[in-house]
Amino acid sequence: MDLGRYIFKRGSQLLPLLFGISILAFLLIHLSPVDPVEACLGKEEASLLAPEDLAGLRASWGLDRPLYGQYFIWLAHVFQGDFGISHLSGRPALAVIAERIPATLVLMGTGYLLVVVLSIYLGVTSAKRQDTFFDHTCTALSFIFYSTPNFWLALILVYLFSVKLGLLPVCGMASPKALTFSLPELGRHLILPAAVLALSTSPWYIRFLRASMLEVLALDYILLARAKGLPEKMIIFKHALRNALLPFLTLLGLAFPHLIGGAVVIETIFAWPGVGRLLVESALRADYPVVMGLTFLFSVFVLLGNFLADIAYLFVDPRIRYGGEAD
Amino acid sequence: MKFWKKAFYLTGILLVILLASLPAGCGKQKEAATPAAKEKVVVIAPKYEGDHLNPVLGYGRYGGSKFFNGLVRFDENLNLVPDLAESWEVSPDGKTYTFKLRPDVKWHDGKEFTAHDVKFTYEKIRDPNVASPLKPFFDFVEEITVVDDHTIKIQLSKPYAPFLEKLVVGIVPGHLLEGKDIKTAEFNQHPVGTGPFKFVEWKKGEKLVMVANQEYFRGKPKIDRVVVSFIPDENTRLLQVTKGEVDAAFLPPKLAAKAQSEKIKIYTVPTGEWCGLGLPYKNPLFQDIRLRQAIAYAIDKQAVVDRILEGKGEPASNPLRSNHRAYNPEAKKYPYDPEKAKALLAGAGWRDTNNDGVLEKAGKPLRFTLLYAADDVLRKDICTAVKTDLKKVGVDVELAGLSWDQIKPRMDTDATLFFWATVYDVDDPNYQIWHSQFIGQGWNNPACYQNKKVDELLEKGRATLEEGERKKIYAELQQILAEEQPVVFIAHMDHTYAASTRIKGIKVQPEGHSGYLTEGLWWNLEEWELPE
Amino acid sequence: MNKKLYAGACFLFLVVFLAVLAPYLCTYHPVDTSLGDAGLPPSREHLFGTDDLGRDVFSRCVYGARVSLAVGFAVALLTTVIGVVVGLVGGYSGGLIDNVLMRVVDTLNSLPNIILSIVILAFFKPGIFNVLAVLALTGWTATARVVRSETLSLKTREFVLAARALGAPDAYLIFFHLLPNVLAPALVAATFSVAHAILAEATLSFLGLGIPPHEPSWGNIMMEEMDDLLVGVWWTVFFPGVLVISTVLAVNFLGEGLKDALEPGRGGKNV
For residue B86, what is the domain's CATH number? 3.90.76.10
- Do residues B54 and B66 lie in contact, with contact meaning Cβ atoms separated by under 8 Å? no
Residues B219 and B281 in one domain: no
pLDDT the model gives residue C215: 80
- Cβ contact, residue pair C195, A147, below 8 Å: yes
Amino acid code (one letter) for A22? S
Residue C237, in any domain of the structure: yes
Instruction: Say yes or no: A181 and A234 in one domain.
Output: yes
Nearest to B245 among A33, A86, A177 (CB): A177
* ipTM given for this complex: 0.86
Question: How many domains in chain A?
Answer: 2
- With CB atoms and an 8 Å threshold, state whether C126 touches B403: yes
Q: Hey, are the CB atoms on C115 and A25 less than 8 Å from each other?
A: no
Partner-chain contact A302 C111, CB within 8 Å: yes
Whether C234 shows a pLDDT value over 80: the answer reads: yes
Encode pLDDT of B448-492 as tens digits: 899 999 999 999 999 998 889 999 999 999 999 999 999 999 999
pLDDT > 70? residue C91: yes
pLDDT averaged over every residue in chain C: 84
Percent of chain B residues topping a pLDDT of 70: 92
Angstroms from A184 CA to nearest CA on chain C: 25
If asked whether residues B207 and B330 sit together in one domain, one would say no
| B242, closest residue in chain C (CA to CA) | C231
Question: What's the gap in Å between the CA of C139 and the closest CA on chain B?
Answer: 25
Give C142 to chain A, closest Cα distance, Å. Answer: 14
B61-72 tens-digit pLDDT: 888 889 999 999
What domain range includes position C128?
3-28+47-267
Q: Say if the Cβ atoms of B401 and C213 lie within 8 Å.
A: yes
- B230 and B283 part of one domain: no
What average pLDDT does range A162-166 have in this prediction? 85
Min distance A222 CA to chain B CA atoms (Å): 19
* B106 contact A CB<8A: no
**Cis previous bond, B365, omega within 30:** no
Choose between A223 and B526: higher pLDDT. Answer: B526
Query: B462 versus A33: which is more confidently predicted?
Result: B462
Confidence of residue B155 (pLDDT cuts 50, 70, 90): very high
pLDDT tens for each residue of B171-197: 999 999 998 888 888 899 999 999 999
The strand pairing partners of B96, in sequence order, are B155
B374 closest CB neighbour out of C52, C212, C231: C212
pLDDT value of residue B434: 92
**CA dihedral sign, ordered C91, C97, C101, C102:** positive
CA of A43, closest CA in chain C: separation in Å?
A: 16
Poorest-pLDDT segment among A192-201, B337-346, B387-396, B515-524? B515-524
Q: pLDDT (tens digit, 9 = 90+) per residue, B413-449?
A: 899 999 988 888 998 889 988 999 888 776 788 888 9
Q: What DSSP assignment string belongs to B288-324?
A: -HHHHHHHHHHS-HHHIIIIISTT-EEE-SSSS-TTS
Mean pLDDT over residues B109-133, rounded?
91
The verdict on B420 and B324 lying in the same domain is yes
The answer as to whether C38 is a domain residue is no
Same domain, yes or no: B339 and B215: no
C117 in a domain, yes or no? yes
CATH number for position A150: 1.10.3720.10
| Shortest Cα distance, chain A CAs vs residue B336, angstroms | 31
Are the beta carbons of B313 and B513 closer than 8 angstroms?
no
Nearest to A237 among B3, B133, B230 (CB): B3
Check whether B298 has a pLDDT greater than 90.
Answer: yes
Per-residue confidence band for A325, with pLDDT thresholds at 50, 70 and 90: very low
**Amino acid of residue B231:** I
Task: Express as a percent the part of chain C with pLDDT over 70.
Answer: 93
Most confidently modeled range among A34-38, B330-334, C27-31 = B330-334
**A125 and A249 both lie in a single domain:** yes
Q: How confident is the model at residue B211 (pLDDT cuts 50, 70, 90)?
A: very high
Q: Report whether pLDDT(C260) > 90.
A: no
For A300, the domain range is 1-98+274-327
Give pLDDT, residue B527: 92
Q: How far apart are CA B494 and CA B421, in angstroms?
A: 11
pLDDT category at B327 given cuts 50, 70, 90 is very high
B226 and B278 both lie in a single domain: no
Q: Is residue C200 part of a domain?
A: yes
Range among A147-156, C24-33, C43-52 with highest mean pLDDT value: A147-156
For residue C190, what pLDDT band results from cuts at 50, 70 and 90?
very high
Chain B (108-147) residues lying within 8 Å, Cβ to Cβ, of chain A: 128-129, 131, 133, 135-136
Chain B residues in contact with C127 by the CB 8 A cut-off are 402
B442/A284 touch (CB, cutoff 8 Å), yes or no:
no
Neighbours of chain A (3+ CB pairs under 8 A): B, C
Query: What single-letter amino acid sits at B314?
Result: E
pLDDT at B494 > cutoff 50: yes
**Closest to B139 measured CA to CA, from B128, B150, B148, B130:** B128
Find the angle CA(B394)-CA(B395)-CA(B400) to the nearest 5 degrees.
Answer: 145
Q: Provide the domain count of chain B.
A: 3
Q: Are A259 and A278 in the same domain?
A: no
Q: Does residue B389 register a pLDDT over 80?
A: yes
* pLDDT value of residue B11: 58
Tell me if C21 is assigned to some domain: yes
Same domain, A159 and A181: yes
- What CATH number should be reported for the domain holding residue B261? 3.40.190.10
Mean pLDDT, to the nearest integer, of A234-243?
78
Q: Given CB atoms, is B406 within the 8 Å cutoff of chain C?
A: yes
A133 or A53, which is more confident: A133
CATH assignment of the domain containing C219: 1.10.3720.10
User: Does residue A108 share a domain with residue A78?
Assistant: no
B348-373 tens-digit pLDDT: 999 998 888 899 998 889 999 999 88
The backbone torsions φ and ψ at residue B451, rounded to the nearest 5 degrees and listed phi first, read: -150, 115
Are B182 and B213 found together in one domain? no
| Local confidence band at C269 (pLDDT 50, 70, 90 cut-offs) | very low
Residues 59-88 of B with CB under 8 A from A: none
Whether B324 and B468 share a structural domain: yes
Distance of residue B449 Cα from the nearest chain A Cα, in angstroms: 17
Whether A36 shows a pLDDT value over 80: the answer reads: no
C-chain residues within 8 Å CB-CB of B260?
none
Contact A33 C124 (CB under 8 A): yes
Cα–Cα dist C172/C167, whole Å: 10
CB contact under 8 A, B25 and A99: yes
Q: Is C3 on the interface with B (CB under 8 A)?
A: no
Are residues B95 and B76 located together in one domain of the fold?
yes
User: Would the CB atoms of B442 and A46 count as touching at under 8 Å?
Assistant: yes
B423 in any annotated domain: yes
The pLDDT score that the predictor gives to residue A318 is 59
* β-sheet bridge partners, residue B511: B271
Exposure string over C216-253, b if 16+ CB within 10 A, otherwise e: bbbbbbbbbbbbbbbbebbbbbbbbbebbbbbbbbbbb
**Has residue C36 been placed in a domain?**
no
C32 contacts B388? CB cut-off 8 A: yes
Residue B369 touches partner C, C-beta closer than 8 Å:
no
Q: Please judge whether A17 and C110 are an interchain contact, meaning their C-beta atoms are less than 8 angstroms apart.
A: yes
Could you say which of C31, C53, C231 has the minimum Cβ distance to residue B258? C231
Cβ–Cβ below 8 Å for A299 and C122: no
**Cβ separation C115–A261 shorter than 8 A:** yes
Same domain, A139 and A237: yes
At B391-411, the pLDDT tens digits run 999 999 988 877 776 787 788
Contact between residue C260 and residue A159 where contact means Cβ atoms under 8 Å apart? no
Q: What pLDDT is recorded for position B200?
A: 94
Q: Does the predicted TM-score (pTM) go above 0.90?
A: no
Residue B264 lies in a domain: yes
Q: Is C213 on the interface with B (CB under 8 A)?
A: yes
Distance of alpha carbon B188 from alpha carbon B177, whole angstroms: 10
Q: Decide if C110 and A302 are in contact by the 8 Å CB cutoff.
A: yes
In tens, the pLDDT along B52-105 reads 899 998 888 888 889 999 999 999 988 999 999 999 999 999 899 999 999 999
Integer Cα distance of B303 and B336 in angstroms:
9
Among B155, B188, B221, residue at a domain's last position: B188
CA B377 to mean position of chain CA atoms: 18
DSSP B318-348: SSS-TTSTT--TTS------HHHHHHHHHHT
In a domain, B44, yes or no: no
- Residue B51: pLDDT above 70? yes
Asked if B318 and B331 count as a contact pair (C-beta separation under 8 A), the reply is yes
pLDDT at B10 over 70: no
Range of the domain at B254: 199-269+495-510+521-527
**Phi/psi of residue B273, each to 5°?**
-80, 135
Give per-residue pLDDT as tens, C26-47.
Answer: 777 777 666 667 777 888 878 8
Q: Average per-residue pLDDT in chain B?
A: 87
pLDDT score for A34: 60
Of A148, A258, A283, the CB nearest to C122: A283
DSSP B172: P
Cβ–Cβ gap A99/B203 under 8 Å: yes
* pLDDT digit string, tens, across residues A167-226: 888 888 888 887 777 888 888 899 999 999 999 989 988 988 898 888 888 888 888 888
pLDDT bin (cut points 50, 70, 90) of residue B345 is very high
